[in-house]
Amino acid sequence: MIPSKRTYLLLLLGSAIALSTSIIWNVQTSIAITLLFDAIVLGLMFVDSLRAKPHRVQIKRTLPPRLSIGRDNPVVLSITSKNRPVEIQICDRPPTEFKLTQRVLSTSLPSNTITELTYIVSPIKRGEFDYGDIQVRQLGNWGLSWDSFKIYCSRKVKVYPDLLGLKSLSIRLTLQSSGALRKMRTLGIGTEFAELRDYGKGDDLRLIDWKATARRDRPLVRVLEPEQEQTLIILLDRGRLMTAQVGGLKRFDWGMNATLSLALAGLNRGDRVGVGVFDRQMHLWIQPQRGQHQLSHLIDRLTPIQPVLLESDYMGAVTNVVQQQTRRALVVLITDIIDSTASAELLAAIGRLAPRYLPFCVTLGDRQVEEIAHTPTLDITTTYTRAVAIDLLAQRQLAFAKLRQKGVLVLDAPCDRLSEQIVDRYLQLKARNQL
């Protein structure tokens, strides 16, 4: 039972009555009248709270089956009122690792109705968490007290990588498969033979199949498509450099989102996809496989993994790939680079992959560092900060240049656009048959 604003106003009115009656009667009489008035108000408040209990609302919480890290996940509260209008305040208890758009929800309901309230949670960590009970305040019919009670609905919830982003990417890839890739086949871009068709104006003369033309007595051209059943291996660093937070999430979480997005794109294009997660040693190795079941397997195996404060052994990770994968493959290493000196082992390790494999180094950029480097300064302190940011970017570019000299493909993208850009780059590699 919690007093409402109306109760406090009435108690203040009792104080005003005490002041006015003290002028007419003596102080003892004034105090007695005030106490009697306050007792009546408190008694009515208590009765109002008791009368509200049989009419408590019912609330049911609905969560998405899988919560996505760093995304807006809607939580729906379905509220059912009984045979009288109610005014309520609701305070849900999500885990402390979740960001909330609104802590307290308020609404008024007519009698015998069902309504829904929605709020948004944004998890900043993966794993399993305790979602607490719902605390409710319901105003009494007289408006004198709030009946406070709890809806017992605590449960365990799991936070996964960015599954909402994977869903959007899946739709995008499906549309591209029915549109852009069909156009690529028509233009003869690719290496694998698909079919023969009649020669059309503008077709490349080099694609004419002369033997088939002689047999059919009309010009026929070969339709080619990008080669499938290639191998894509993704190495995800979970070492010290990936523990830093950028844009509200750890670098490792951004890297995991990019890993799953790239894996989805590879499986969608018919490639075998394998993943390795490493620090000082190969923490997890998933053999390259084809088929959509591989994506579910990757999600289940990768979700529990967290970054650690250990220096990464790049040479050991690359050696493991060479031992496990004998055929040519696209090897994508997702990590971070500080400068060419601190990343000397990375430069030496990934350079060993070329030319037998196609190495691809992906690093996570920091928008804040770029903004500091490109923002004019007016005082000495910010000037020094800007100078450090500029030097850091210059050192990164030097490291990227050394990688390119060794035949390594390089992508340095902002964390919030990493998944999109890495998929686009992969699709370009497939279209150009660089693998």
Tokens read off for 412: 């340095």
Burial 128-166 (b: 16+ CB within 10 A, else e): ebebbebebbbbbebebbbbeeebeeeeebebbbbbbbb
| Token output for 77 | 């509260």
In this model, does residue 36 exceed pLDDT 80?
A: yes
Please give the pLDDT value at position 188. Answer: 42
pTM above 0.85, yes or no: no
Q: Give the pLDDT confidence score for residue 177 in this predicted structure.
A: 67
CA 43 to chain centroid: 52
**pLDDT per position as a tens digit, 309-331:** 999 999 999 999 999 888 889 99
pLDDT at 364 over 70: yes
In order of 4, 34, 45, the CA distances from 38 in angstroms are: 14, 6, 10
pLDDT at 186: 44
Report residue 48's pLDDT band, with 50, 70 and 90 as the boundaries: confident
Percent of the chain with pLDDT over 70: 92
- pLDDT tens, position by position, 260-284: 999 999 999 889 999 999 999 999 9
Strand partners, 237: 278
Q: What is the spatial order of strands in the sheet that 104-109 belongs to?
A: 2-3, 145-151, 134-139, 86-91, 104-109
Q: Angle of helix 418-431 relative to helix 251-268, nearest 10 degrees? A: 30
Question: Could you read off the pLDDT of 157-213 as tens digits, one per residue?
Answer: 999 999 999 999 988 888 776 654 444 444 445 555 566 778 777 677 777 778 888
Q: What is the overall mean pLDDT for the chain?
A: 86
pLDDT value of residue 17 = 74
C-alpha span between 420 and 310 (Å, rounded):
28
**Contact criterion met (CB below 8 Å) for 243 and 252:** yes
At 95 the three-state DSSP class reads coil
**Mean pLDDT throughout 358-385?**
86
